[in-house]
A and B are shown apart, each in its own frame.
Chain A
């Protein structure tokens, strides 16, 4: 039986802790002029090179806006998703929970993006995807979500046609990874290439992180394909090309822009010569060159990644929309983004009914010549 003294002290303790907990922790004086934009991406872990480059693009755009005469003082909040859906959701909730954050951009990995967009949807916070290319993301047609990168479907189609006609390949062996990006590429290319009249000899999917492709390459050499299509990313592409040459397999290797990166040439070494990838054209853009110059001048610790410009563009789209509509009505903001026609480093960005960018994907073929990527003359 509790005697009254103890019961009282118990209640007092409860009341005390309740009142203490209700005291807001941390300053709250909101400056109307200060807003925050969020960035989520893989800045640790195996894909960090992509995330760091994109992060810098994000920060560059914000710095330029702040220097320029933007109606608000913008602060960038950078959060890591470590390519893990759960970490990504934690980051998303953190952003959504901060009343100063107006909008966000994010994700290189599709699984992470798929996990976080419901969070942004429930909070009605506008969110632009700068890297993840799974079609499922925009298929859901959540009003807050838009994407500035083309889906992999848009890139594989012209490549497949080019391979069938210009390259003259009849049988192609597909090597890819088991991620959604890799399997998506394998499926898309298979469909488009067979539609164009070619045949797929074999399809081999290896987990990301595979370092030994020799068994698969030996099999391909034996079967006698005309070319190899690789649907994965930079590291594995470099290793594959190097080992392809080592085994004495002398057929071209093609792919989409996933491994269009000087890192690939470094990794494959001399074997990189002759590799061909498709790359979205319309990139000869004075604004893009300006961005490259600004990036170098800024002196970031990391070099640019292929996604720097997408993150930069996404951030600028957000900044433009906020300038037009203001920060009070999130729904109006999302609508403004969807309806925007933005002139930027990617060309003229407009969004379709699902929030997917409509920039037509005209591809150039890039080939490695003399240790560098150059455009192939058609």
Chain B
């Protein structure tokens, strides 16, 4: 729980030059690393970049003082870090040399980041193992797709409607989960996930195993998302539209995460995680907060699902299997539970790795799993461990 207690006080202090240099170095270095990773096809470079990434974390593992220093730097110069980060995200597509493949990877990685953040509320904050995130994702996607195809509803409307439907499902899922704990809870969610997947597969009005084809792409002010963007004389492939949409969604998810974490709800979740009985004794309405966790997870997952459906324009039940939920769970755990940045990094890592390791064709899946295990052993608390809450004056 209270891992890595910081020796350096996180009290307010003015941002020093060193702090800003650290921030710039890390953010820009990370962006560069990611950029090379996305664009290269040379497997040796890929392995080298992975090694650099792992070495960085090994270093942090050996010398925790470095980690503390970095964290305090970010803490002190928050606004600047956010600003720089926003600039990097906005400008990034222009650095991708017009590669629709790289942009595609970024879109998918961002969608998974949203899913991982959604699960993080439950798994990270409240320690509720939920294997049905894939199902919520699927329900959101199908809802959005069916509304768009059968009733011609605009994407911007289907988005909230699908989210509400999925939230309803989240509540349904929450009910039986109230009395069960840990492993048994995990199994209930697995069961739900499988039931939803099979039903999607069997019903004919969901398109059955064929899925749904021809989901229309959203339009905004007459600009269709399937058209390339022309800006500042540069031409970005159509994937860039979805990149920005997904980035906006990620930003929304991060804001939600922050607000919830800092609010009573987040505190209640953490209390639940520590000791449910004690929390109940303190007057925290355990049932209500658990339900909220399920609902929030479903809500965000559905958003991701709607965007995915519009992006690929084709969904089928096989996009939303048990294995997808497991992958999302792996992202949260490898990245670091209850740590927003960690979860996002975990999502990116686990989305990009299988794609980039295509070189190994036959051995791809094997290598990804081995790498996951190695990362788990290397950093059992996750790549970015939970930070204790800081109430230093600001």
Contact = CB atoms under 8 A, between A and B. Distances in A.
Interface string B72-112: 00000000100010010001000101011100110010000
A6 B100 contact: no
Given A93-B101, A111-B316, A122-B226, A6 B20 contact: yes
Contact of B28 (A5, A6, A17, A25): A17
Interface string B18-29: 001100110010
A13 B26 CA distance: 11
A6 B365 CA distance: 45
A84 interface: yes
A78 interface: yes
Interface in A105-119: 110-111, 114-115, 118
B314 A85 contact: yes
B104 A90 contact: yes
Interface in B352-394: 354-355, 358, 361-362, 364-365
Interface string B28-65: 10011001100111100000000000000000000000
Residues of B contacting A: mostly: helix
B28 A13 contact: yes
B99 A97 contact: yes
B41 A26 contact: yes
A114 B95 CA distance: 31
Interface stretch (B135-143, B204-212, B337-345): B204-212
Interface string A60-90: 0000000000000000001110001111011
Interface stretch (A176-184, A304-312, A324-332, A347-355): A176-184
B312 A17 contact: no
Given A6-B17, A21-B95, A26-B40, A93 B316 contact: no
A180 B209 contact: yes
A31 B213 CA distance: 39
Contact of A180 (B35, B210, B313): B210
Nearest to B95: A21
Interface in A193-245: 207
Given A122-B238, A178-B209, A44 B364 contact: yes
Contacts of B87: 14
B312 A89 contact: yes
B101 A111 contact: no
Contacts of B201: 178, 207
A44 B24 contact: no
A335 interface: no
Interface in A290-341: none
Interface string B281-317: 0000000000000000000000000000000111010
B67 interface: no
Contacts of A25: 36, 39-40, 97
Contacts of B17: 3, 5-6
B6 interface: no
A29 interface: no
A114 B20 contact: no
A134 interface: yes
Contacts of B101: 90, 93-94, 96-97
For chain A, give the interface size range: 35 or more
B318 interface: yes
A255 to B, nearest CB: 18
B226 A111 contact: no
Contacts of B9: none
A265 B361 CA distance: 30
A175 to B, nearest CB: 16
A9 interface: yes
B75 to A, nearest CB: 17
Contacts of A24: 97
Contacts of A180: 208-210
Nearest to B239: A93
Which of A13, A17, A110, A183 has the largest count of B CB atoms less than 10 A from its CB?
Answer: A17
B100 A93 contact: yes
Contacts of A178: 201-202, 208-209
A316 B101 CA distance: 27
Nearest to B36: A25
A114 B314 contact: yes
A111 B207 CA distance: 11
Nearest to A14: B28
B364 A179 contact: no
Nearest to B92: A21
Contacts of A179: 209
Contacts of A43: 361-362
A89 B36 contact: no
Interface of A: 2-3, 5-6, 9-10, 13-14, 17-18, 20-22, 24-26, 43-44, 78-80, 84-87, 89-91, 93-94, 96-97, 110-111, 114-115, 118, 122, 134, 136, 140, 178-180, 182-183, 207
Complex A-B, nearest 9 residue pairs according to Cβ-Cβ distance, in ascending order: A97-B101, A21-B95, A180-B210, A115-B314, A93-B101, A111-B316, A93-B104, A25-B39, A17-B28
6 contacts: A86-B312, A90-B108, A96-B100, A97-B101, A115-B316, A118-B314
Given A10-B20, A13-B25, A25-B97, 9 more contacts: A44-B365, A86-B108, A86-B319, A90-B101, A93-B101, A114-B213, A114-B314, A115-B314, A178-B201
